[in-house]
């Protein structure tokens, strides 16, 4: 049944999707809101899910799109210059009672938040989720070459940030 399939999806993927979302939107409450939206879209689209796509790929695409939509809406609401927004993200990390990390992990999180959204997504999928480029290509509907370049640029920016801060 649809209900059983949906329950199984939640059990299997909820935590992985949460952390994927959380790395992009930073705040715990925002991540939960976005995750709820993801599962609403999954529920509404479950009957149209094509078996030729991997479930994992489909879920990550929905989650990534919901994150980008959320971040876009946040930007439009705040209308804050980009550099101020980046420091705002850093302040959110500092204030987050759910974030507990050593100094290097802290610097890594700050560095990741400095990346453009697309690079942040690519870095997160590759570094944290260890997603192969081929799979990432299906999730983000981007060529593997472009993803490799994006990841490379993200890593360089992160290294530079960590060395200089």
* 3-state class percentages of the chain: helix first, strand second, coil last, to nearest 5: 80, 0, 20
Q: Report percent pLDDT > 70 for the chain.
A: 84
pLDDT, one tens digit per residue, over 101-145 is 567 777 888 899 889 989 999 999 999 889 999 999 999 999 999
Structure letter (DSSP) for residue 128: I
CA–CA gap between residue 131 and residue 112 (Å, rounded): 17
CA–CA gap between residue 121 and residue 30 (Å, rounded): 16
- Architecture category of domain 2-164 in CATH: Orthogonal Bundle (1.10)
The pTM is what? 0.74
Token pair 């991540």: residue: 31
Q: State residue 52's pLDDT score.
A: 60
pLDDT, one tens digit per residue, over 62-92 is 999 999 899 888 877 766 554 444 555 555 5
Instruction: Work out whether the CA dihedral 131, 133, 134, 137 comes out positive or negative.
Output: positive
Q: State residue 85's pLDDT score.
A: 47
Count H helices and E strands in the chain, helices first: 8, 0
CA–CA gap between residue 122 and residue 96 (Å, rounded): 23
Q: State residue 88's pLDDT score.
A: 53
Kindly give, in sequence order, each residue whose CB lies less than 8 Å from that of residue 101, ignoring residues fewer than 6 positions away: 109
Structure letter (DSSP) for residue 26: -
């Amino acid at each position: 049944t649809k209900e059983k399939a949906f329950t199984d999806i939640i059990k299997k993927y909820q935590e992985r999707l949460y952390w994927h979302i959380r790395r992009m939107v930073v705040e715990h409450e925002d991540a939960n809101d976005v995750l709820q939206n993801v599962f609403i879209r999954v529920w509404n689209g479950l009957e149209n899910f094509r078996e030729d796509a991997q479930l994992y790929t489909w879920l990550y695409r929905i989650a990534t799109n919901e994150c980008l939509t959320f971040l876009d809406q946040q930007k439009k609401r705040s209308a804050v210059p980009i550099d101020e927004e980046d420091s705002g993200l850093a302040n959110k990390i500092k204030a987050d009672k759910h974030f507990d990390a050593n100094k290097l992990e802290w610097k890594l999180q700050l560095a990741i938040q400095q990346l453009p959204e697309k690079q942040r997504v690519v870095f997160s999928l590759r570094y944290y989720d260890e997603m192969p480029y081929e799979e990432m290509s299906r999730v983000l509907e981007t060529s593997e070459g472009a993803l490799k370049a994006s990841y490379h640029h993200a890593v360089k920016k992160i290294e530079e940030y960590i060395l200089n801060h």
